[in-house]
Amino acid sequence: MKTTRLFLCLVAFLSVTLAGNPADADERVHFESAPVKLSPFRISKAREQGEIISQPQGTPLLGYLSRPKGDGPFPAVVLLHGCEGMRLSVKDLWPKRLVSWGYVVLVVDSFTTRNIKDTCQGSLPDRLFDAYGALNFLSKQSFVDARRVALMGFSTGGTATLEGTKIEGNEQLMDHKFRAAVAYYPLCAASQGDATVPTLILSGERDNWSPADRCQKRLARLSDNGPPIELNVYKGTYHDFDAPEFKVGRRVFGHIEKYNPDAAGKSIRSVRTFLQTYLSN
């Protein structure tokens, strides 16, 4: 009898504990990239010609979901990795940091389902559609406040972040919108001009892979009507300056990747303040 009671108490305790702590560990999730919608012109031309067309489907993707304890709804951040894929700081360190600040985090794996090892000598323009697929997934979760989701990317992921939140870009075709954007050492394009959301760009002064001066040229072209774009350039720093896995530093394709603890700390504080400012209620 005592054994039975003990067993029932243990079951009840585990049920309460697991229900109250659904986010202690990363959860591997499946979703699709946002499909590229057919334009009204393309649809009307198909009808005129008697052509039967169907809306394109998204690409199946993997992601890693982390969340604070509690029911929410919480603000959230979608993370996009760089050209080398899922490095430790993107898959582990940043999600833990963001969750501790009170954000749900979805890290998008753009490579595994596409059988891609890296894109450091090429490009993958579909990344911005991956970001919006992640946003669509989060918008369906009861513990996420879909009105308060930021997009954050590193290197080529940062470039995709800027591409996905530029005015008159593909963002206008999406059902759900990001509230803010953070780009670590992206390759800026001066021609992009205004953004659709408040944006924070963090660059290294000595980064010759993603030169900060290209971002400065973009800021010089901004109108007075768009959301603010803030650019922080850290002196004496190279590419991947926030990533502790590059403490020793290395040279890749003629570019230096090296961790800088001072710049990393300053950038992390800037990101926290930025997210608090634009993802608060």
> Is residue 139 over pLDDT 90?
yes
Residue scoring higher pLDDT (186 or 248): 186
Whether 20 is covered by a domain: the verdict is: no
Confidence of residue 43 (pLDDT cuts 50, 70, 90): low
Range from 2-16, 18-32, 206-220 that averages highest in pLDDT: 206-220
Closest CA to 65 of 18, 30, 20: 30
3-class DSSP state for residue 213? helix
Q: Is the peptide bond preceding residue 186 cis, with omega within 30 degrees of 0?
A: no
pTM for the model = 0.85
Average pLDDT on 102-128 reads 91
Whether 6 is covered by a domain: the verdict is: no
Cβ atoms of 173 and 37 within 8 Å: the answer is: yes
Rounded CA gap, 104 and 113, in Å?
23
> Is residue 10 over pLDDT 80?
no
Confidence of residue 42 (pLDDT cuts 50, 70, 90): low
Check which CATH number belongs to the domain holding 230 and give it. Answer: 3.40.50.1820
Tokens of 39: 């334009």
Give whole-number Cα distances, 236 to 101, 258, 260, in Å. 29, 11, 9
Q: Residues in the chain, how many? A: 281
Whether 257 is covered by a domain: the verdict is: yes
Whether 68 is covered by a domain: the verdict is: yes
> Is residue 19 over pLDDT 60?
no
Whether 101 is covered by a domain: the verdict is: yes
Between 8-22, 52-66, 123-137, the lowest mean confidence (pLDDT) is in 8-22
> Is residue 14 over pLDDT 70?
no
Tally of domains within the chain:
1
Rounded CA gap, 197 and 166, in Å?
8
- pLDDT above 70 covers a percentage of the chain that reads 86
Whether 15 is covered by a domain: the verdict is: no
Confidence of residue 98 (pLDDT cuts 50, 70, 90): very high
**Per-residue confidence (pLDDT) for residue 210, from 0 to 100:** 94
Average pLDDT on 103-118 reads 95
CB-count exposure of residue 51 (10 Å: 0-12, 13-18, 19+): exposed
Strands of 119-227, DSSP E: 144-154, 180-184, 199-204
Residue-range definition of the domain harbouring residue 227:
29-279
